[in-house]
Structure 1
Amino acid sequence: MASLIYFLCAITALACAVLVLRSYRNTRHRLLFWCGLCFAGMFAANLLLIIDRLVMPDTDLSTVRLIVGLIALLPLLYGLVWEDE
């Protein structure tokens, strides 16, 4: 059951990234770009979670997952603080 939830979270993050970046391409609102990058990073963090829990359960990738999650949030933080429309 947990593996299904991990895959659904990864696919949801990927779908959000694709939809938001597609919307950015059509409207050119810069905050959509930063949100799309954030969701793409969250997809990468979810992939690392799948690798950590399902593919290589003997290794601990929690630090790497947390770092990737933090890096994924930085573009959104930048967009929210420094971008004005």
Structure 2
Amino acid sequence: MIVATIYTLCALTALLCTVLLLQAYRAGGYRLLLWSGLCFAGLTLNNALLVLDKVVFPDVDFSYWRTSTALVAMMILLYGLVWDTE
């Protein structure tokens, strides 16, 4: 029960970070906030898949999908950090 609560709180925290970063981007227009917000959107999806994998469907393996979403999220942030210039 505690594990499910912790996984869910992690997903909600990532969702909150996503919302706050994208709101700050809309208000300020700094592109790094956009890339960070998109990264956290991917991490939110990653955490939601973690909840599905470990709590809802414990006999189904979502590890490929979880790893893929985390990789794409980090690649988005890496692109924003390295190649996007203001």
TM class by smaller structure: over 0.9
Shift of 1:2: 0.5
Aligned-pair RMSD on alpha carbons? 0.7
Q: How many residues align?
A: 85
- C-alpha separation in 2, matches of 1:62 and 1:42: 14
1:83: how far off? 1.6
Give the TM-score normalised by the residue count of structure 2. Answer: 0.95
Q: Where do 1:1-85 residues align within 5 Å? A: 1-85=2-86
| Segments ≥4 residues shifted beyond 6 Å | none
For each residue in 1:39-64, what CA deviation from the matched residue of structure 2 results, as whole angstroms up to 9, or x when unmatched?
00000000000000111101111111
- Structure 1 unaligned blocks of 5 or more: none
Between the aligned residues of both structures, percent identity stands at 52
Per the normalisation by structure 1, the TM-score is 0.96
Cα distance in structure 2, aligned partners of 1:61 and 1:32: 29
State how far apart, in whole Å, the 2-side matches of 1:67 and 1:75 are. Answer: 12
